[in-house]
């Protein structure tokens, strides 16, 4: 397996950090906006009525979609229908998702992952506006989320790659019978952080996910940056500078006691080498702050202690 810790050798000055505004979203979207949900009181009343019709597994599926934004049929099957024969699992997953779609709490993208041969297993699902309202009324979100999500292929591929990391971590921790425990997994935007720029302006740090894993008596925390090769190395370097500035601010350590390691997860060896070089040039003063690893190796590496011992 291939993962690299990038250790510091000499200090560098905190960089000047650019601000970052929210992207303007195109008109084609996956999830309902406030206007399409109807008056808040009406939406809330309908959501409360639906809560009575939803079982524990229904709500667990909605919760996973609220947490991760997009999941395929097979990912939802692996998370919530892991018992029984594979054919039984697949049938239950199709039936549950068909029912939730008919109730209007989830929506299915027209695009499949894996092409035509993937069939229903490759279909992609997200929460509808009503599904968000259901979670806001009685589910784990505790509020209705008004975020509008685009359906561009690159966006969906990235979100589903983060979802796959979560699914694999769940599967590994299930199999370790308590030696490794998934304590927390926060997707966007719950995992985002704020820091002050050099001019006092507020800057948003946007990891793709935050992970906390119990490994025996220890806990491993990580900010996840899942890279599919779509960003330039200078852009990667700017984001590394932001992490370094956030680390130096001490805010995370004050709020949570420790600063998570930043894991850059990449699709291939060539990208691994490129990002490793970019990170090493930026973070010379932050010992062991960054790790670069292959996406395929990450679930096992994350569930191991840094010295290679421990579970998994």
Could you tell me if 55 and 179 lie in one domain? no
Q: Which of these three, 106, 123, 151, is where a domain ends?
A: 151
Could you tell me if 161 and 275 lie in one domain? yes
Torsion of CA 106, 109, 113, 119, to 10 degrees: 80
Q: Which of these three, 116, 151, 186, is where a domain ends?
A: 151
Q: What is the pLDDT of residue 202?
A: 84
Contact partners, residue 113, CB within 8 Å, separation at least 6:
72, 122, 123, 124, 156, 157, 160
Q: Is the pLDDT of residue 38 over 80?
A: no
Question: Of 272, 171, 258, whose CA–CA distance to 225 is shortest?
Answer: 272
Instruction: Answer whether 223's CB lies under 8 Å from 207's CB.
Output: yes
Could you tell me if 108 and 183 lie in one domain? no
Residue with tokens 């985002």: 192
Q: How far apart are CA 231 and CA 238, in angstroms?
A: 11
Could you tell me if 177 and 251 lie in one domain? yes
Residues found in the chain: 312
Q: Is the pLDDT of residue 306 over 80?
A: no
> Would you say residue 29 lies in a domain?
no
Q: How far apart are CA 181 and CA 39, in angstroms?
A: 41
Could you tell me if 219 and 260 lie in one domain? yes
Could you tell me if 13 and 56 lie in one domain? no
Q: Is the pLDDT of residue 146 over 50?
A: no
**HSE of 273 in the Cβ direction (CA atoms, 13 Å)?**
2
> Would you say residue 312 lies in a domain?
no
> pTM of the entire structure?
0.80
> Would you say residue 133 lies in a domain?
yes
Q: Which of these three, 151, 175, 205, is where a domain ends?
A: 151
> Would you say residue 88 lies in a domain?
yes
Structure-block tokens of residue 243: 């992490």
List pLDDT tens digits, range 155-207.
889 999 999 999 999 999 998 776 899 999 999 989 999 887 777 788 899 99
Could you tell me if 70 and 166 lie in one domain? no
Q: What's the CA angle centered on 65, arms 60 and 70, to 5 degrees?
A: 150
* Surface-to-core class of residue 269, CB atoms within 10 Å of its CB (0-12 exposed, 13-18 middle, 19+ buried): exposed
How many C-beta neighbours within 10 Å does residue 178 have? 9
List pLDDT tens digits, range 86-104.
899 999 999 999 999 999 9
> Would you say residue 27 lies in a domain?
no
**Percent over 70 (pLDDT), the chain:** 74
Instruction: Answer whether 237's CB lies under 8 Å from 290's CB.
Output: no
> Would you say residue 218 lies in a domain?
yes
| CATH number of residue 121's parent domain | 1.10.10
The count of domains in the chain is 2
Q: What is the pLDDT of residue 138?
A: 53
Could you tell me if 198 and 89 lie in one domain? no
Q: How far apart are CA 312 and CA 294, in angstroms?
A: 17
Could you tell me if 76 and 221 lie in one domain? no
SS3 3: strand
- Note down the domain range covering 82: 34-151
Could you tell me if 174 and 235 lie in one domain? yes
Higher pLDDT: 299 or 278? It is: 299
* Surface-to-core class of residue 232, CB atoms within 10 Å of its CB (0-12 exposed, 13-18 middle, 19+ buried): exposed
Question: Of 14, 32, 35, whose CA–CA distance to 198 is shortest?
Answer: 14
- The average pLDDT across 70-83 equals 93
Q: What is the pLDDT of residue 15?
A: 36
Could you tell me if 285 and 176 lie in one domain? yes
Could you tell me if 144 and 261 lie in one domain? no
Q: How far apart are CA 122 and CA 265, in angstroms?
A: 23
The answer for 308, left when phi > 0, alpha when psi is -120 to 50, beta otherwise, is left
């Amino acid at each position: 397996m291939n993962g690299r810790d990038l250790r510091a050798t000499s200090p560098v000055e905190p960089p000047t950090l650019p601000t970052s505004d929210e992207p303007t979203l195109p008109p084609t979207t996956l999830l309902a906006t406030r206007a399409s949900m109807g008056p808040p009181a009406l939406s809330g009343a309908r959501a409360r009525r639906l809560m009575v019709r939803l079982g524990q597994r229904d709500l667990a599926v909605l919760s996973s979609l609220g947490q991760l934004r997009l999941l395929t049929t097979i990912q939802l099957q692996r998370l919530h229908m892991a018992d029984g024969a594979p054919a039984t699992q697949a049938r239950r997953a199709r039936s549950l998702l068909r029912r939730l779609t008919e109730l209007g709490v989830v929506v299915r993208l027209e695009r499949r992952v894996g092409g035509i041969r993937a069939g229903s297993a490759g279909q992609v699902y997200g929460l509808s506006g009503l599904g968000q309202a259901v979670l806001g009324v009685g589910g784990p979100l505790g509020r209705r989320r008004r975020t509008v999500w685009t359906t561009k292929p690159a966006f969906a591929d990235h979100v589903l790659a983060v979802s796959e990391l979560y699914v694999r971590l769940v599967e590994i921790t299930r199999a370790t019978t308590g030696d490794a425990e998934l304590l927390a997994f926060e997707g966007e935007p719950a995992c985002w952080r704020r820091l002050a720029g050099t001019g006092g302006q507020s800057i948003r740090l946007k990891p793709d996910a935050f992970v906390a894993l119990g490994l025996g008596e220890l806990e491993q925390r990580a900010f996840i940056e899942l890279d599919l090769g779509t960003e330039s190395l200078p852009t990667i370097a700017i984001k590394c500078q932001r992490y370094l500035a956030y680390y130096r601010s001490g805010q995370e350590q004050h709020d949570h006691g420790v600063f998570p390691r930043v894991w850059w997860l990449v699709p291939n060896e060539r990208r691994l080498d490129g990002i490793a070089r970019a990170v090493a040039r930026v973070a010379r003063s932050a010992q062991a702050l960054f790790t670069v690893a292959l996406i395929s190796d990450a679930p096992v590496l994350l569930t191991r202690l840094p010295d290679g011992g421990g579970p998994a």
